[in-house]
Protein backbone atom coordinates (compact mmCIF):
# COMPACT_ATOMS: atom_id res chain seq x y z
CA UNK A 1 0.00 0.00 0.00
CA UNK A 2 2.89 2.34 0.80
CA UNK A 3 4.37 1.63 -2.60
CA UNK A 4 1.18 2.67 -4.29
CA UNK A 5 1.26 6.05 -2.56
CA UNK A 6 4.87 6.62 -3.48
CA UNK A 7 4.03 5.87 -7.10
CA UNK A 8 1.09 8.25 -7.00
CA UNK A 9 3.29 11.04 -5.66
CA UNK A 10 5.80 10.44 -8.42
CA UNK A 11 3.03 10.54 -10.98
CA UNK A 12 1.73 13.84 -9.62
CA UNK A 13 5.15 15.45 -9.72
CA UNK A 14 5.78 14.25 -13.24
CA UNK A 15 2.42 15.55 -14.39
CA UNK A 16 3.03 18.94 -12.84
CA UNK A 17 6.39 19.15 -14.53
CA UNK A 18 4.80 18.34 -17.87
CA UNK A 19 2.07 20.88 -17.24
CA UNK A 20 4.64 23.58 -16.52
CA UNK A 21 6.44 22.77 -19.75
CA UNK A 22 3.17 22.90 -21.65
CA UNK A 23 2.24 26.31 -20.23
CA UNK A 24 5.70 27.64 -21.08
CA UNK A 25 5.44 26.29 -24.62
CA UNK A 26 1.95 27.65 -25.19
CA UNK A 27 2.79 31.16 -24.03
CA UNK A 28 5.97 31.18 -26.11
CA UNK A 29 3.92 30.11 -29.12
CA UNK A 30 1.34 32.80 -28.37
CA UNK A 31 4.08 35.42 -28.39
CA UNK A 32 5.49 34.14 -31.68
CA UNK A 33 2.14 33.91 -33.41
CA UNK A 34 0.67 37.18 -32.12
CA UNK A 35 1.82 39.48 -34.98
CA UNK A 36 0.16 37.19 -37.54
CA UNK A 37 -2.95 35.95 -35.82
CA UNK A 38 -4.24 37.37 -32.57
CA UNK A 39 -7.07 34.86 -32.45
CA UNK A 40 -4.61 32.01 -32.46
CA UNK A 41 -2.52 33.66 -29.73
CA UNK A 42 -5.68 33.97 -27.62
CA UNK A 43 -6.48 30.34 -28.30
CA UNK A 44 -3.06 29.31 -26.96
CA UNK A 45 -3.59 31.39 -23.84
CA UNK A 46 -6.94 29.68 -23.37
CA UNK A 47 -5.37 26.21 -23.59
CA UNK A 48 -2.50 27.23 -21.33
CA UNK A 49 -4.90 28.46 -18.66
CA UNK A 50 -6.97 25.31 -18.97
CA UNK A 51 -3.85 23.18 -18.51
CA UNK A 52 -2.78 25.32 -15.57
CA UNK A 53 -6.15 24.88 -13.87
CA UNK A 54 -6.34 21.17 -14.52
CA UNK A 55 -2.85 20.50 -13.19
CA UNK A 56 -3.19 23.00 -10.34
CA UNK A 57 0.13 24.69 -10.94
CA UNK A 58 1.24 28.29 -10.61
CA UNK A 59 1.51 30.40 -13.71
CA UNK A 60 5.17 31.38 -14.26
CA UNK A 61 5.88 34.97 -13.19
CA UNK A 62 7.11 35.76 -16.66
CA UNK A 63 3.70 35.15 -18.19
CA UNK A 64 1.42 36.18 -15.35
CA UNK A 65 0.88 39.70 -16.64
CA UNK A 66 0.90 38.88 -20.29
CA UNK A 67 -2.79 38.06 -20.64
CA UNK A 68 -6.00 39.85 -19.74
CA UNK A 69 -7.64 38.46 -16.63
CA UNK A 70 -11.07 39.31 -17.99
CA UNK A 71 -11.15 38.48 -21.69
CA UNK A 72 -8.08 36.17 -21.68
CA UNK A 73 -6.42 37.75 -24.68
CA UNK A 74 -2.66 37.77 -25.03
CA UNK A 75 -1.27 41.23 -24.26
CA UNK A 76 1.65 42.96 -25.90
CA UNK A 77 2.49 46.36 -24.41
CA UNK A 78 2.19 49.09 -27.01
CA UNK A 79 0.00 46.99 -29.29
CA UNK A 80 -3.05 45.94 -27.32
CA UNK A 81 -2.07 46.86 -23.79
CA UNK A 82 -1.15 50.08 -22.05
CA UNK A 83 1.37 49.91 -19.22
CA UNK A 84 1.81 52.81 -16.82
CA UNK A 85 3.56 53.30 -13.52
CA UNK A 86 1.69 55.12 -10.77
CA UNK A 87 3.08 55.95 -7.35
CA UNK A 88 0.28 57.99 -5.80
CA UNK A 89 -1.58 55.88 -3.24
CA UNK A 90 1.11 53.19 -3.38
CA UNK A 91 3.57 52.30 -6.12
CA UNK A 92 1.85 50.11 -8.70
CA UNK A 93 1.86 49.10 -12.33
CA UNK A 94 -1.36 49.70 -14.24
CA UNK A 95 -1.98 47.48 -17.24
CA UNK A 96 -4.99 48.27 -19.36
CA UNK A 97 -6.24 45.73 -21.87
CA UNK A 98 -7.13 47.67 -25.00
CA UNK A 99 -9.26 44.78 -26.31
CA UNK A 100 -11.88 44.99 -23.57
CA UNK A 101 -10.79 47.93 -21.39
CA UNK A 102 -10.14 45.85 -18.29
CA UNK A 103 -7.66 47.42 -15.87
CA UNK A 104 -5.21 45.36 -13.84
CA UNK A 105 -3.02 46.75 -11.06
CA UNK A 106 0.09 45.17 -9.62
CA UNK A 107 2.03 46.65 -6.68
CA UNK A 108 5.76 47.10 -7.08
CA UNK A 109 6.59 48.16 -3.57
CA UNK A 110 8.84 45.16 -3.04
CA UNK A 111 10.95 45.96 -6.08
CA UNK A 112 11.15 49.56 -5.02
CA UNK A 113 12.25 48.61 -1.50
CA UNK A 114 14.90 46.24 -2.85
CA UNK A 115 16.16 48.99 -5.10
CA UNK A 116 16.27 51.52 -2.30
CA UNK A 117 18.24 49.11 -0.10
CA UNK A 118 20.65 48.52 -2.97
CA UNK A 119 21.33 52.21 -3.62
CA UNK A 120 21.78 52.78 0.09
CA UNK A 121 24.35 49.98 0.19
CA UNK A 122 26.22 51.52 -2.69
CA UNK A 123 26.11 54.94 -0.99
CA UNK A 124 27.52 53.38 2.15
CA UNK A 125 30.40 51.84 0.23
CA UNK A 126 31.19 55.12 -1.47
CA UNK A 127 31.14 57.09 1.76
* Chain contacts with Zn ion (rule: CB under 5 A): 68, 70-71, 97, 99-100, 102
Cα-Cα-Cα-Cα dihedral sign, residues 61, 108, 78, 43: positive
**From candidates 13, 54, 113, 118, binder to other proteins by CB under 8 A:** 54
CB of 92 to other proteins, least distance (A): 26
Contact at 8 Å (CB) between 24 and 60?
yes
Give the one entry of other proteins, Zn ion, none that residue 33 binds, where binding means its C-beta sits below a cut-off of 5 to 8 angstroms depending on kind.
other proteins
Please indicate if the annotation marks 41 as binding a ligand. no
Separation of alpha carbons 27 and 52, rounded Å: 12
Q: Does 76 interact with other proteins (rule: CB under 8 A)?
A: no
Between CA 90 and CA 26, with CA 85 as vertex, the angle to 5 degrees is 110
CA 59 to chain centre: 6
Q: Which of 68, 71, 63 is nearest to 96 (CA)?
A: 68
Give the one entry of Zn ion, other proteins, none that residue 99 binds, where binding means its C-beta sits below a cut-off of 5 to 8 angstroms depending on kind.
Zn ion
Q: Does 121 interact with other proteins (rule: CB under 8 A)?
A: no
Between CA 102 and CA 108, with CA 107 as vertex, the angle to 5 degrees is 130
Q: Does 63 interact with other proteins (rule: CB under 8 A)?
A: no
- Which residues make up each annotated binding site for Zn(2+)? 68, 71, 97, 100
Which residues contribute to the site for other proteins (CB under 8 A)? 11, 14-15, 18-19, 21-22, 24-26, 28-29, 32-33, 36-37, 39-40, 42-44, 46-47, 50-51, 53-55, 71-72
Amino acid sequence: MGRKWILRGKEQREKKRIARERVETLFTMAERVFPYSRELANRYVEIALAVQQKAKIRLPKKWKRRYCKKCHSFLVPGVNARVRLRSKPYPHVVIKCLECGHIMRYPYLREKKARRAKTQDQGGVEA
